[in-house]
Structure 1
Amino acid sequence: MAAWPGPLADIDWSRPWLAPYRTIGEPLAEAVRSGATLTTLLSAEADCRGLVNAVGRRVHFIAQSELPKGVAYETHIHATGGVPTRDNLHDFFNALIWLHFPQTKARLNAVQAEQIALHGQQVRGAVRDAATLFDENAALVMSADAELHADLRAFSWRRLFVTRRAAWADCRVLIFGHALLEKLVSPYRGITAHAWLTDGPAAPRWPDADLAGALAATPLASRMLTPLPVLGIPGWWSGNSDPAFYADATVFRPGRRDARSARIA
């Protein structure tokens, strides 16, 4: 991969998974490519939006080198509001999610910091793992169609993507995970999100407050998330208009899930 900021030129903001972030993301990327400092730009954007973390600290972006030795990344953000940021796509997308979902990111950070305080930096545990999985790889699937939810939880790929393909017209998908967005800069068939299912395609454009509230009200667990091969979503990849696309069992794998899991109303 080209040295920073070259990779920013590889971002195709017209892709359906990136288009929702284009208004803010594309000008930021262009400014950095023109020589601006990423952390300075991001901090100015955060200030314009009045971003704060779970304990009211001003969210701002600092160089990774400013993270004190021996202090956990999550602990530092929770205590100071300073988000250590490297010059790479991973941290660029992390910051972009902070700008669009500040309450949700603050909630996830609070969970992670609390777990570190309870168990130490080296012991991850189920709750911290679930928070990290959501933070890195979640996709929000918003639909009032209970059958779509059931098919996704049951890994019923052909019914989900072929037989009932038209049902996706009333479904909205937003990529939340910043590691997932990074992967999708160079998309390939096997990229799989962990889907968080919610009712209602008419949710706000950025359902930040609702999502943060749901995470606060529900103890986090990995079972709440269900696999979703992202390029299988109708309209997200030209090749998936052919039903044969879904015959690849290495991507669209069979499986069983508890019908009660992976859905938060």
Structure 2
Amino acid sequence: IIAEDSQVPTREHSWHDLFNALVWIQFPRTKALLNRLHMEDINLKGAHPRTPRRNRITHFDECGVVIAVEEDHLQKGNALLSQLAHHQWNQVFLEERSAWGEILHPFVFGHANFEMMLSPFEGLTGKWMAIKVPRGFSNESVERQHERLDVALCERIQALDNFNRAPLLKPIPLLGIPHWYQEQTPCFYENKDYFRPMSVTSKPSVQLPLT
């Protein structure tokens, strides 16, 4: 519908659709790119079942978290992203708590995450993608940050072969991100049902290292 009409369908009384429309306003280039990639696969292989690439696109569209790292912090940023990718939750969330907002700058992209955050629950999880941003990004206005994120995110997706490569996205427990939840005690991070160890069969993400 969006590809045909250039309009974002928004049902009345739907938080899900409202947040989707708001993300379109914040990230118009990226949302248009995701829509185009969906349509490419639909035109080639039909709408059902979804292709593996469309599943990855959908995961990011619904549950994506963008983690921005300024270009002069890449070395430290990659060390932290590696901890995140390897589910080293205590290290990246507790021991490196001060790095969030200084080295790692997280932004919610997935509109389903916004909807679920209306009633947060342990288990709320996103799928993250890291991008490089210019030095001084953290000092810019929110509007300028979103403009930069939108451009950088499109470039990053294209550099990663438009979701054709896997494994790409890794999970991030949203309530564990420092300053995003009030109950972030050391005991909270010991909940293995939420902060799950990495599977022994898990493969490294193709998005690391960030360059």
Structure 1 and Structure 2 fold alike (TM over 0.5): yes
1:246 pairs with one of 184, 189, 203: 189
Aligned residue number for residue 154 of structure 1? 86
Superposition pairs for residues 64-83 of structure 1, below 5 Å?
76-83=1-8
Corresponding letter in the other structure for 2:9: P
Aligned residue number for residue 205 of structure 1? 145
CA distance in 1, matches of 2:128, 2:167: 10
CA distance in 2, matches of 1:128, 1:139: 17
Secondary structure (helix, strand or coil) at the match of 2:171 reads strand
Corresponding letter in the other structure for 2:54: R
Corresponding letter in the other structure for 1:238: Q
> Residue deviations 1:17-65, cap 9 Å, x none?
xxxxxxxxxxxxxxxxxxxxxxxxxxxxxxxxxxxxxxxxxxxxxxxxx
The answer to whether structure 1 residue 106 and structure 2 residue 58 are counterparts is no
Aligned residue number for residue 189 of structure 1? 122
1:215 pairs with one of 145, 157, 167: 157
Q: 2:90, 2:189 within 8 Å by CA — same for their partners in 1? A: yes
Higher deviation after alignment, 146-155 or 255-264:
255-264
Provide closer, same or farther for how the CA distance between residues 262 and 254 of structure 1 changes in structure 2, counting only shifts above 3 A: farther
Q: 2:160, 2:207 within 8 Å by CA — same for their partners in 1? A: no
2:173 pairs with one of 193, 204, 229: 229
Report the Cα offset of residue 164 of structure 1.
2.0
Report the Cα offset of residue 202 of structure 1.
4.3
Provide closer, same or farther for how the CA distance between residues 199 and 214 of structure 1 changes in structure 2, counting only shifts above 3 A: closer
Q: 1:133, 1:222 within 8 Å by CA — same for their partners in 2? A: no
Secondary structure (helix, strand or coil) at the match of 1:253 reads coil
Report the Cα offset of residue 192 of structure 1.
0.4
Higher deviation after alignment, 85-94 or 254-263:
254-263
Q: 2:30, 2:154 within 8 Å by CA — same for their partners in 1? A: yes
1:115 pairs with one of 12, 19, 41: 41
Corresponding letter in the other structure for 1:228: I
CA distance in 2, matches of 1:222, 1:186: 31
Structure 2 residue runs of 5 or longer lacking an equivalent are 138-143
The answer to whether structure 1 residue 84 and structure 2 residue 13 are counterparts is no
CA distance in 2, matches of 1:258, 1:103: 30
The answer to whether structure 1 residue 173 and structure 2 residue 106 are counterparts is yes
User: What number of residue pairs does the alignment pair up?
Assistant: 189
Aligned residue number for residue 258 of structure 1? 203
Report the Cα offset of residue 84 of structure 1.
2.0
Give the greater-gyration-radius structure (CA): 1
The answer to whether structure 1 residue 133 and structure 2 residue 133 are counterparts is no
Superposed CA RMSD in Å reads 1.8
Q: Please identify runs of 4+ aligned residues in structure 1 that moved more than 3 A.
A: 199-204, 256-260, 262-265
Q: 2:166, 2:206 within 8 Å by CA — same for their partners in 1? A: no
Secondary structure (helix, strand or coil) at the match of 1:174 reads strand
Report the Cα offset of residue 236 of structure 1.
1.0
Corresponding letter in the other structure for 1:208: D
Which structure has more relative contact order (CA 8 Å, sep 6+)? It is: 2
Secondary structure (helix, strand or coil) at the match of 1:95 reads helix
Corresponding letter in the other structure for 2:152: D
Structure 1 residue runs of 5 or longer lacking an equivalent are 1-75
TM-score after normalising by structure 2:
0.83
Q: 1:226, 1:262 within 8 Å by CA — same for their partners in 2? A: no
Secondary structure (helix, strand or coil) at the match of 2:83 reads helix
CA distance in 2, matches of 1:258, 1:199: 23
